[in-house]
Structure 1
C-alpha cells in the first residue's frame, strides 16, 4: 500500500475527479491510490467482518446495512493511506497522524450533502461543513505518533485538520470540529 504525505498546497480539485468517477460507478479495487483519486480501493457494499468502528448514514449512495454503511478497521484500511504532521490544542508539540482523508471516505460512499454531523463515543456532536473536506486535507486518523488510537486516547478514530499548514485553521471554530472517539457520521 502506498503512503501519501499531505502537503499544504495539495489541490482540492482532485476531489472533482473522484466524485465524477464515483458518479460513473467505476469499479473500486484494492490497488494503492493517491488520496482523492477515483480508485479508493474500498468497496462500501462489503459487509464488515470485524468490529464496526464507524457508522455512516444520511445522504449516501452506497450502504451495506439498510440505508447506512457499517465499517470495520479492515474496510477503512483499504482507503488510500495518508500521513499528517500537525500540532493540536489538546496535545503537546507536533504529532504524526496516520489515517485516510475524509473526502476519500465520503467519495467512496457516494455522499452528497452540505454538512456532516460527527458524533463521538461520549455523545459529543458537531456539524462540519462539507466544504471543509474540499478545502483542506482533513484526515480521519487511526494512529498518532506510531501508536494505534484507542478509546482511552482519542480513538479509535479522530478527525484531524492540517492546522499547521493553514493559518485560518488556528481558530476555535475549527478546533470544535476535531472530533476524537469518532463513531458516527450523518451526511446531510
Structure 2
C-alpha cells in the first residue's frame, strides 16, 4: 500500500514539475497550419517567435491582479510572416479549449501572442507557454466576455481559416 502511495506521489510531483518548468528555447511549442504559404504545418519554438519583432502590452486582465506586463509577438506580424490568407484564427490550447479570433481583431487592437509575463517566460502552470492577450485597458469595447473568451492561454496550435 505504501509503495503505491509513493508511486502516486512521485507521478504527481513529476506532473507538477512538467507544468511549472518553462520550455526550452528550441522546443516546438506552436504549430500553425491552414491557409498559410507553407503546404505543411509550421512548427515554432520560443526562439522562432523571439526572432520576430516583439511587442509589450501592459494591461489588466480578469485573470490577474493589477497591471500585468506581457511580451510577445503581434499576431498580425506572425500571420504575415507565415503568409496567411484567412479571415479567422482557430486557436487550440493544451487543455483542448478552442477560441476563434477574427483576423480583423489582430490589426485593429494589436493582439499579441505573449510568451513572457512580467519579464519571465510563462510556464504551463501559469497560462504558458503562449497566451493570446488583447490590450484590454486600451479599448473599452474589449471589456466583455466576447474578447475574454478569445484570450486563450496554454496555446498549442493556430489554424488559419
TM-score, normalised with respect to structure 1: 0.71
Alpha-carbon offset, residue 51 of structure 1: 1.1
Task: Tell me if the contact between 2:92 and 2:156 (Cα under 8 Å) persists in the aligned partners.
Answer: yes
CA contact (8 A) 2:46 2:115 kept: no
1:52 corresponds to 2:28: yes
If asked which structure has higher relative contact order (CA below 8 Å, sep 6+), I would say 2
SS in 1 for 2:114: strand
Establish whether residue 144 from structure 1 lines up as the match of residue 114 from structure 2. Answer: no
Q: Distance in 2 between matches of 1:159 and 1:126?
A: 10
Aligned counterparts of 1:179 and 1:156: Cα–Cα separation in 2? 11
Structure 2: which 5+ residue stretches go unaligned? 1-24
What's the counterpart of residue 3 of structure 1? none
- Displaced runs of 4 or more, over 4 A: none
Task: Tell me the number of residue pairs that the alignment of Structure 1 and Structure 2 aligns.
Answer: 137
Q: 2:28, 2:119 → 1: CA distance?
A: 22
Task: Work out the CA distance in 1 between the residues paired with 2:73 and 2:26.
Answer: 19
**For 1:134, what is the secondary structure of its paired residue?**
helix
2:100 aligned residue (104, 127, 134): 127
1:156 is matched with: 129
Cα distance in structure 1, aligned partners of 2:45 and 2:86? 23
How big is the shift at 1:50? 2.1
**TM-score normalised according to structure 2 size:** 0.82
Give 1:101 deviation, angstroms. 0.3
> Which has more helix, going by share of residues?
2
1:178 CA displacement: 0.6
User: What is aligned with 1:115?
Assistant: 88
